[in-house]
């Protein structure tokens, strides 16, 4: 199962020393794996970052390659979004200022950095469209802060901030 492998300290140190473009040459599902491992280890804010980074990269990948078999990467993306994304999002939406800051970071990185798995030069439209969607999500969350907080309370979830 994708979410069971943990990143050990040696691999984590190697990844930290690896240039960003090399880190993005791996499949976006690895970002979800990292998010799941971080969340399990209690590093929840880092997990939120890796989830949204992975979601951005995975959406670009799928937009760039619309002919992929539906039971392959599109199905894996849906599964990861549910199994990894749901618990992390439940946590993330409890602190909207922190979530918005993380989304701002992912958006800034997406604008400034290339993706070695789905290069901007080869798939500019996929990057532009996905970035626009992420920016719209960020703005919608910002505009809906009060409604999100109220809905969480109705659902029995806490608001940390």
Per-residue model confidence (pLDDT) at position 2:
44
Residues of the chain with pLDDT under 70: 1-24
Q: Which two tokens stand for residue 88?
A: 């992390």
Res 16: pLDDT: 54
Tokens representing 24?
A: 């993005």
- Check residue 12 and give its pLDDT: 54
Strands (E), the chain: none
Distance CA 9, CA 104 (A): 28
* Chain segment 108-118, per-residue pLDDT in tens: 999 999 999 99
Cα–Cα–Cα angle for 91, 115, 18, rounded to 5 degrees: 80
């Amino acid at each position: 199962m994708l979410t069971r492998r943990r990143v050990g300290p040696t691999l984590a140190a190697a990844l930290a020393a690896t240039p960003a473009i090399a880190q993005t040459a791996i499949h976006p599902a690895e970002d979800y794996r990292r998010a799941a491992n971080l969340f399990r280890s209690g590093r929840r804010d880092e997990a939120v970052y890796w989830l949204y980074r992975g979601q951005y990269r995975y959406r670009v990948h799928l937009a760039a390659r619309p002919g992929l078999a539906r039971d392959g990467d599109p199905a894996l993306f849906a599964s990861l979004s549910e199994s990894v994304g749901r618990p992390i999002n439940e946590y993330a939406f409890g602190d909207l200022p922190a979530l918005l800051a993380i989304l701002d970071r992912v958006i800034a990185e997406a604008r400034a950095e290339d993706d070695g798995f789905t290069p901007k030069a080869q798939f500019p439209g996929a990057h532009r469209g996905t970035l626009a969607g992420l920016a719209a999500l960020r703005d919608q969350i910002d505009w809906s802060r009060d409604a999100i907080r109220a809905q969480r309370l109705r659902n029995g979830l806490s608001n940390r901030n």
